[in-house]
Amino acid sequence: MMDENLFTDGSKWCWHPDVRSGTACFIIFRHEFRAEEAELKLKINVSADNRYNLYLDGILLGRGPCRGDLSHYNYETYVLDIPEGRHVLSAEVVVYYHGPCDDAGPISEVHAGGGFIVAGGVFKEEVKLIPLDTSGNWKCSIDHSRSLVRRSDCPVKGFMAIAQMEKVDFAFALCSGWKQCDYDDSGWTIPESIESAIFSGRLENTSSRWWLTPRTIPMLEESAVEIKGLIGWDPSLLEDGKLKGLSVSVGCELSFIMDMGELCTGFPLFSFVSSGGAELVISYSESLFVDGEKQVRDDKSGTVFGYSDYLSLDSGSSHFEPFWFRTFRFIGISIKNVTAPFEIKEISVRSFMYPFELKASFSAMEDVDFVPKIWETAWRTSRLCAHEHYEDCPYYEQLQYAGDTRIQALISYALTGDGRLGLQAVRQFDWSMLPEGITQSRYPSSWVQVIPQFSLFWIMMIDDYYWYSGDKQLVLSLMPGIKSVMEWFGKNRSGSGLISGLNYWNFIDWVDEWRNGSPGRNPEDVLTINSLLYAEACRRAAFLCEECALPSDEYKSNYKDVICAVDKYCFDEDLCLYVDIPGNKGASQHTNAWAIISGAAGSLKTESIVKGLAENPQLQQASLYFSFYLFRAWELSDNYRFFWKQLEKWKSIFKWNFTTFPEIPSPETRSDCHGWSASPLYEFVSRVLGIRPLSPGFKDILVKPMPGGIRKASGKAPAGNNMAGVSWITTECGEMEIKLDFQHPADVKLVWPDGFEEFHKELKSGIFSRELLCQP
């Protein structure tokens, strides 16, 4: 629970007086105090610029602040019991490089360049006995042993947006006991107060760069994970999933690889004892490279190629843990320039992810025996792409893109019932609004990028969240943003009624034949899919307005007008398809799927289109990402059987020994783990089992199974504050039996695959059977 009241009029940010704002550095802080009696509580609010790790008596309390922007700068609240005696509260704060995009810190973080704040203290009930506010009795020091690796020095080229790697020279390290009570900090510096604490939404002046707001998501989950194997060294050194007791002699040069068995996001922890110097390079990769290329992900003849941390040992005991998490399936260790013997006492790994709790389950008939592996792999993909916000990929970018996030959030709602990360995402894209009235493609982000289509996906995200949460107040708060985006697109309609050529990056999907992910070659190209996405956003916006008792006629009128324009100018009678650009012959699964989803294609055109979506090789093909919208088109056209055929793309990936689903289904993919590729999870639960809301917030529950040709399936999923269990089986004679079981009685609408509907009030469980009028 966040406690704003811990801040007072005197709460101040502080910083090291000898470090200029914006200087890349590591600053450490400590504050000793004594609890004179038992049954006291530590209650503090903490934030920092750029990031902090907070400790009490050397034990990690938490990491933060949660990512936001300067107008919504997060703080965390810590409340815990304090035993009687001496204690020390300590923190380490990093400031990343700020500069050109190719050499900046993590792009998903927005900062001002250095600061640390603590408000609160040690309390007996509501009385503060020991103040721990900054500056107070805090001390600070520059950690000269740690520095950052400039991105230009990273061997991995291309777009990298993550936190910079680290260099550590233990010859300049402070005694490791600085987090403990017995440390002598008499030579440390008193931090200077720099700015007052002020709060987002209640600003009276511009006395602070940070507009504070409480963290709205839980602290991330950290847990031990096992190292599964060693490549190039004695595997007997592994004990309980940790590497222990590796002795290295003078002049020795060696390299080996730690194999995690599956992709991880987390912190490797190293402990050394040395009597002299040595240099270590710790490299991280998603897969092994053979002759500079990735094919089979765990080919033992390959090597690790990736970003690296660099350590220079000195005499004594030393420890290393990177400040921010790393992404790896393989960790390469290279040791050289050993001037004195040393021992690697231990290497262990701790995972780091958003604490989703998987509540859903799914199983299907034996003929689709690949489903359990898809379920496991997709769930791992989803988890590794969710930390302080959703991420496109954990290795290269860690950026929250609206197009990716819509799918990721739906998976979270359907499988966990946890909407907190989705709610945060919806709000953050609202914060990203540019003065011209359109949201940014990714946010939080210190560098602006616009993909206009992603602004329309954001409106759909709001609608998605509303259906799962029923939070009408949120929708009302976002109405100005919805209106702004819709007006921006309205201004970009041509005389024909279509959305005209748009500025910015018109990304649709990664298609080999498309330049930069777009069917158009030039900004002035009119893309049919833009009008279709706009039409769907009009329909969703109209629904949300009606739910909030607001006028919706304009959105409804615009929807009809743009649909008519698409039908008039974008349908090719010879091809019996909607073309990607009016007047051209190029067509794609993408445009035609959206023609069905948006309602532009009537029943007759849908019938001619839908088979081509599955079987026409002349159509530009959807990637794993855009397959989500193929699924929607097949669902709406009663052709969900093609879902199972499309899953062959996911199944094919396993021959390269991926443990997550990649950006594209190819061994040459850049990213081995991409959240947008986990969409089968959503299909299994919300469509094959058929568990979804009938009314916003699951006030009523819809169960609408979509077998798509398979004969049986079973599972469960969260349904608001309820849990829904569904099991169904069909026979070759066309009979179907459905078993329903709910944690609490619920009003349920059961829709059979042939369209027959039943309503059940206060249903707790039941078995239903009938002969279907058509094959499911």
Q: Does the pLDDT value for residue 203 go beyond 80?
A: no
Secondary structure of residue 141 in the 3-state scheme: strand
Give this prediction's pTM: 0.97
Q: Does the pLDDT value for residue 754 go beyond 90?
A: yes
Looking at the chain, the whole-number percentage of residues with pLDDT higher than 90 is 89
Considering only residues 393 and 206, tell me which one the structure prediction assigns the higher pLDDT: 393
Secondary structure of residue 316 in the 3-state scheme: strand
Q: Does the pLDDT value for residue 575 go beyond 80?
A: yes
Q: Does the pLDDT value for residue 202 go beyond 70?
A: no
Secondary structure of residue 700 in the 3-state scheme: coil
pLDDT digits (tens, 9 = 90+) for 631-659: 999 999 999 999 999 999 999 999 999 99
Mean pLDDT across the stretch 563-583? 96
Task: Return all residues near 602 (Cβ < 8 A) that are at least 6 apart.
Answer: none
Q: What is the 8-class DSSP label of residue 656?
A: G
Q: What is the 8-class DSSP label of residue 682?
A: H
pLDDT digits (tens, 9 = 90+) for 378-395: 999 999 999 999 999 999
**Residue type at position 41:** K
Secondary structure of residue 772 in the 3-state scheme: coil
- Strands, E, within 620-755: which ranges? 691-693, 701-703, 712-719, 722-730, 735-751
pLDDT digits (tens, 9 = 90+) for 324-367: 999 999 999 999 999 999 999 999 999 999 999 999 999 998 77
Q: How far is Cα 434 from Cα 229, in angstroms, rounded to an integer?
A: 49
> What is the arrangement of strands in the sheet containing 85-95, beginning at the earlier edge strand?
59-64, 51-56, 85-95, 25-35, 139-142
Q: How far is Cα 304 from Cα 604, in angstroms, rounded to an integer?
A: 54
Q: How far is Cα 748 from Cα 453, in angstroms, rounded to an integer?
A: 35
Q: Tell me, what's the pLDDT at 101?
A: 65
Q: Tell me, what's the pLDDT at 1?
A: 59
Q: Specify whether the CB–CB gap between 439 and 455 falls below 8 A.
A: yes
Q: Which domains are assigned to the chain? A: 4-218 (2.60.120.260), 222-353 (2.60.120.260), 701-771 (no CATH)
Q: Is 530 exposed, middle or buried (0-12, 13-18, 19+ CB in 10 A)?
A: buried
DSSP result, 562-598: HHHHHHHHSEETTTTEE-SSTTS---BHHHHHHHHHH
pLDDT digits (tens, 9 = 90+) for 663-714: 999 999 999 999 999 999 999 999 999 999 999 999 999 999 999 999 999 9
Q: Does the pLDDT value for residue 776 go beyond 80?
A: no
Q: Tell me, what's the pLDDT at 99?
A: 74
53 sits in which H/E element: strand 51-56
pLDDT digits (tens, 9 = 90+) for 764-774: 999 999 998 87
pLDDT digits (tens, 9 = 90+) for 299-309: 999 999 999 99
Q: What is the 8-class DSSP label of residue 251?
A: T
Q: 472-491 and 420-431 helices cross at what angle (nearest 10)?
A: 40
Q: How far is Cα 743 from Cα 724, in angstroms, rounded to an integer?
A: 7
Alpha helices in 164-283 (DSSP H): none
257 sits in which H/E element: strand 254-274
Distances (CA, A) of 544 to 105, 408, 667: 38, 22, 42
pLDDT digits (tens, 9 = 90+) for 232-255: 999 999 999 999 999 999 999 999
Q: Does the pLDDT value for residue 551 go beyond 70?
A: yes
Q: Tell me, what's the pLDDT at 98?
A: 82
Mean pLDDT across the stretch 712-732? 97
DSSP result, 436-481: TS---SBSS-SS----HHHHHHHHHHHHHHHHHH--HHHHHHHHHH
C-alpha 278: how far from chain center: 37
Q: Specify whether the CB–CB gap between 440 and 80 falls below 8 A.
A: no
> In the structure encoding, which two tokens stand for residue 497, read together?
């009624």
Average pLDDT, the chain: 95
Q: How far is Cα 426 from Cα 544, in angstroms, rounded to an integer?
A: 15
